[in-house]
Structure 1
C-alpha cells in the first residue's frame, strides 16, 4: 500500500495549513538545489500533509525565479503523492468573478525564462500533458470547495504568462477573445509539467482576484485591490484544504488517470546510451523506471 501524502503549493496569500498536527518545518535538498523555502510537514485528520510556499515566506521569489524543479523534486523526495496548486489568478470571464475559484484543467504556456523539464541531454524523455491535471484530484478539490461554501467552477484554461508585469490591454483581449482562455496567472507552468514528469497527481485551484485588464468596468489591474481580495480567498483556500484528507484518505490507490505511471513509455534514450550522471540525478523523480 502507498500511503497518501498531500502537498499544497501555496501561492500569494496562502502561507500555511490550519490545524496541522505535529507541524515541523524541514530542510530538503535536491539535485536541482533547494526549494523555495523549507517545507512544513505534519498530519491533518490522520493524513500526512506538506506545505510549500511557492514564493517563499515573505514572498521573495518572482514568478520567474521560483525554483520549480527543486520544488517538485523536494515533494517527491519526501513521499508526496498528490499536489494541490493554490494560486491567485485574473479572470477573463464575467461569470468567473473575483472571490470565485476555478478548478483548472488546461493550460496555455507562454512562459519562456524557465527550465521546463527534469530530463535533458544524456537522458531524453517526452511525457504527455494532453490532460495536464489529474481528474481524480481535481474532483476532490471541487467537492471540498463546494463543502466550504465556495463559488467554484469546474474546468477552465489557464494562460501562464512570464510576468512579473501584468498583461497589456491588447494581450488581455487576445487571450480572452481569440484564444478562449478563462484565467491568467504566472506560476502553474512549468509546475504542472514537472509534476507529470515526477509521476505526481496534480490539481490546480485558481483563486480569482481580478478581471485582468480586459473588463471595461474595472480598468487596469490594481495591486492594492488584488491584495484585498487575496485575503478573503486565502481563508477560503485554507477551508478547502482542511477538507481534502477526508476525501482522499490514507491509502493512495493507483491513479485512474495514469498520473503515477506517466513515465512508463516516455524515456527514449537507449539504456546503454544514458549518461550515468543523469541517471543518478533523475533517480529522485524517475527512479521507478530507471532501476
Structure 2
C-alpha cells in the first residue's frame, strides 16, 4: 500500500548533522508550535530526492540539557512541517560487552526512568491513550539498521534503552542495577520523544551510537565527556552516510508503517466530543488534525 503523501523524514540529532554531501538545503524554518519553540530552527532540504527535516535536539552549540528539552515542541514542529517519519540519532552508554563503543544499536524497546518531563500532548480537556507496547516502527527501524550497515557501521538489531534523567552520568550502583534488569543501553533523550512521536502518528526509529560502557566495566572506568566526544567524532562520517543511505531506501513514495502507527489515534481519544475543551482541541490539531 502506497501513502498518498510525499515522504518527509524528520531527523533529530546533534549539531551539524545536516552538514553532509549531496544535501540541498532549501530553507531554515523558525517554527512556533502550540507548545512553544523547538530546540532550534528546522533545516529543510532534499537528499537523494527525499524531503528531509533536520533538528538539532540540544540546540545549536548543544546549549539545552536533556531535562530542559521541549520535546513536545520538537515533535510538533516536525509534524507541522509535514514529517511522515522520524529518525532519532542518539549517543548512548552500553551495558553489554558486545555492544562496544563505536557500534550502533537499532533500539526497539525503552524503560523510562525520567522525572518531571511532560510525556503527552493530550492533557485535561482532551484525553487519549495510545499503545506504545512496540514503541518503534519495525519498517523504519530495519531500514535504519540496513542504512547504517551500508555506511560501514557495526549494527545490533534490537535492544532496550533505559532513559535516565541526567545530566549527570550513572553511579556505579545504578549501572550495576540496570545491568541486572537486562537493559542494553542507556541515554537521556529518547523519552518522552518516542511517546510523543507515537501520539503524533509519526513512525519512529532510533539508532543509538555506543560511546562508552557507562561505569560498570572494570577495564574502562567512569564515563567522561572527552571520550564520548571522541567516539562521536570518529563516527561522524558513518552517521552522515547512514542518513544518505536511508533516504535512498525509503524513497519519495511513502509506504505506511506495517504497525498501524499512521492511524493509531483512530480509537485512542476517549473524551466525548461534547466534553472536549475547544482550546485543547485547537492546540491538538497541530499533531492530531487528522482525527480532530
Q: For 1:67 and 1:170, how far apart are their aligned partners in 2? A: 30
Q: Corresponding residue for 1:192?
A: 194
Q: How does 1:121-132 map to 2 (within 5 A)?
A: 121-132=124-135
Give the Cα–Cα distance (whole angstroms) in 2 for the partners of residues 274 and 191 of structure 1.
Answer: 25
Q: Distance in 1 between matches of 2:174 and 2:262?
A: 36
- Please state whether the residue corresponding to 1:252 is helix, strand or coil: coil
The unaligned stretches of length 5 or more in structure 2 are none
Alignment of 1:13-52 (within 5 A): 15-18=17-20, 19-52=22-55
Q: Match for 1:145 among 145, 148, 152?
A: 148
Q: Provide the rounded CA distance (Å) in 1 between the counterparts of 2:150 and 2:187.
A: 25
Q: Which residue of 2 aligns with 1:250?
A: 252
TM-score normalized by the length of structure 1: 0.97
Normalising by the residue count of structure 2, what TM-score does the alignment of the two structures yield?
Answer: 0.97
* Matched residue count: 288
Contact 1:9 1:84 (8 Å CA) reproduced: yes
Secondary structure in 2 matching 1:2:
coil
Question: Residue in 2 aligned with 1:261?
Answer: 263
Q: Which runs of 5+ in 1 are unaligned?
A: none
The correspondence of residues 165-180 of structure 1 with structure 2, limited to 5 A, is 165-177=168-180, 179-180=181-182
The alpha-carbon deviation at position 253 of structure 1 amounts to 2.3
Q: Say what the alpha-carbon RMSD is for the aligned residues.
A: 1.0
Can you list the C-alpha shifts for 1:46-92, whole angstroms capped at 9, x where unaligned?
Answer: 11011000001100100011110000000000000111000100000
Structure 1 contact 14–234 (Cα < 8 Å) conserved: no
Which whole-Å deviations, capped at 9, do the CAs of 1:175-210 have from their partners, x for residues lacking one?
012x11000000000000000000001001000000
**CA deviation vs aligned residue, 1:85-140 (integer Å, no higher than 9, x gap):** 00100000100000000000000000012110000101000100000000000010
Q: CA deviation at 1:17?
A: 4.4
- Which residue number in structure 2 is paired with residue 164 of structure 1? 167
Separation in 1, partners of 2:134, 2:270: 21
Alignment partner of 1:131: what SS? coil
| CA deviations over 1:3-43 (Å, ceiling 9, x no partner) | 000111003x6532412113421111100000000001110
Equivalent of residue 82 in structure 2, options 51, 73, 79: 79
Q: Is the 8 A contact 2:17 2:240 kept in 1?
A: no
Match of 2:274 in 1: 272
